[in-house]
Amino acid sequence: MLEEVADELTVGYVGPMASEYVPSGIPFLRSQNVEPLRVMQDDIKFITPDFHKRISKSALSPGDVVIVRTGKPGACTVMPDSLPVANCSDLVIVRCGKKLDARFLAYYVNTVAAHHVSAHLVGAVQQHFNVGSARKLKMLLPEIGEQRAIASVLGSLDDKIELNRRMNETLEALAQSLFKSWFVDFDPVRSKMPGKSPSSLEPATASLFPDQFQDSELGEIPKGWTVKSIEEVSSRVAIGPFGSSIKVETFVSEGMPIISGQHLHGLMLEDSTFNFITQAHAEQLKNSIVQRGDVVFTHAGNIGQVAFIPEHSRYERYIISQRQFFMRCDLSQVTPSFITLYFKSHEGQHRLLANTSSSGVPSIARPVTNLRSIQLTIPSKPVLDAFQDFVRPLLIRVRHNDEESRRLAALRDALLPKLLSGELRVPAKSTDAS
């Protein structure tokens, strides 16, 4: 059992936290920051060094293994070197020692031990995986050298997955940079104004932009462009179902995939692991069904998230969770990528989060009404088409990288049981290896 080979098993801090968060300080991980084999650092909270010392029992160091208790029970990763000091709540903490390799344990918990986690979930409203169940996890454990060898083989696949992820971040950053230049800073227009430097764009593209500005409700915008509300450029805006409509006990092994915040980290929907409800159940909640091209937002919890469902998504239709809402674009005026990039911009985030409440769970007040009322600058159709021509190849590359990463992850997860059973063997690494 895990408790017999780990040096220590404990649990993260349990207690009220809202008043302890500060703008900067010691990183404080919550369950939403932990994905299988990865720490998500884009929404980490911070605590003061003094509070960190007061709750030192839940302090984290590189090499510690953390397992999510609630939200995504069983999601497991190793604390990276990039977080030399951290603290946490709602996580099981495992310190492995000399008999257990940390990376091997993380792979084991995320794959082989999934049935143990699901069989030991407790709680009627929000199910969780507790530290006692983690202690009793039975393991088929090779000697330490073979553990390291197995982790090395699987790690080579993860290295490629990580490379794809970083490449996608770069590609999406390029799209965001171009959006900001064209539609926030209006660089092509400014470059065509008398006395300004010539545009760096190709002449044919530069010719699509005007050479002067006009006044509008949002200030100066390029001449001939318009200001419209989301309501005017969408065919539909709607919210997810009531919280009681989708419960853990309604999940099934296949059916309608449920979109939650974990799928909205990038520019496009992350078509990764989903929970499902039956098609019949989904039809009862048909007002919350989304499709390819829809833009999905988070209105409670990790507010400000936004991503669109690409035209080649894994599924034709999804259902959003109770913390999401969405808009369906009027494609004659705007595109899903344009809208998503707008709401990922500083200006778009400011307007999206203008009516938020930080008491209790952070949330956007009246999210549908608020979204419909937001105004933004709409470019001419030729400029929008030119922008799509620039961005489309970037998004295609992102999608191909995502598809490759899913295949590699499936291969990685399939390899571990074969390596444990001896069906496949790898040379053991020295037990003196670090």
User: What helix, strand, coil percent values describe the chain, rounded to 5?
Assistant: 40, 20, 40
Q: Is the pLDDT of residue 334 over 60?
A: yes
Is there a shared CATH topology between the 2-141 domain and the 226-378 domain?
yes
Beta bridge partners of 221: 214
Give per-residue burial for 114-136: e unless 16+ CB within 10 Å, then b.
Answer: bebbeebbeeeeebbbbbebbee
SS3 of residue 274 by DSSP: coil
Q: Tell me if 11 sits within 8 A of 67, measured CB to CB.
A: no
Q: Tell me if 29 sits within 8 A of 66, measured CB to CB.
A: yes
- The whole-angstrom separation of Cα 432 and Cα 112 is 26
What are the Cα distances from residue 183, in Å, to 215, 220, 222, 237, 240? 15, 12, 9, 23, 30
pLDDT recorded at residue 126: 67
pLDDT recorded at residue 193: 87
If 0-12 CB within 10 Å is exposed, 13-18 middle and 19+ buried, where does residue 159 land?
exposed
Report the range of poorest mean pLDDT among 216-230, 337-351, 413-427.
Answer: 413-427
pLDDT recorded at residue 175: 96
Domain ranges of the chain: 2-141, 226-378
| C-alpha closest to that of 395 among 333, 278, 307 | 307
346-382: pLDDT as tens digits = 999 999 999 887 666 788 999 999 999 999 999 999 9
Biggest alpha carbon distance in the chain? 76
CATH code of the domain made up of 226-378: 3.90.220.20
Q: Count of CB atoms within 10 A of residue 258's CB?
A: 23
159-214: pLDDT as tens digits = 999 999 999 999 999 999 999 999 999 999 999 888 776 667 888 999 999 999 99
Beta bridge partners of 306: 297
Q: Global pTM?
A: 0.80
SS3 of residue 198 by DSSP: coil
Give the per-residue SS3 of 75-137. Answer: CEEECCCCCCCEEEECEEEEECCCCCCHHHHHHHHHCCCHHHHHHCCECCCCCECCHHHHHCC
- The whole-angstrom separation of Cα 187 and Cα 105 is 51
Q: To which residue do tokens 């397992």 refer?
A: 67
CATH architecture of 2-141: Alpha-Beta Complex (3.90)
52-62: pLDDT as tens digits = 999 999 999 99
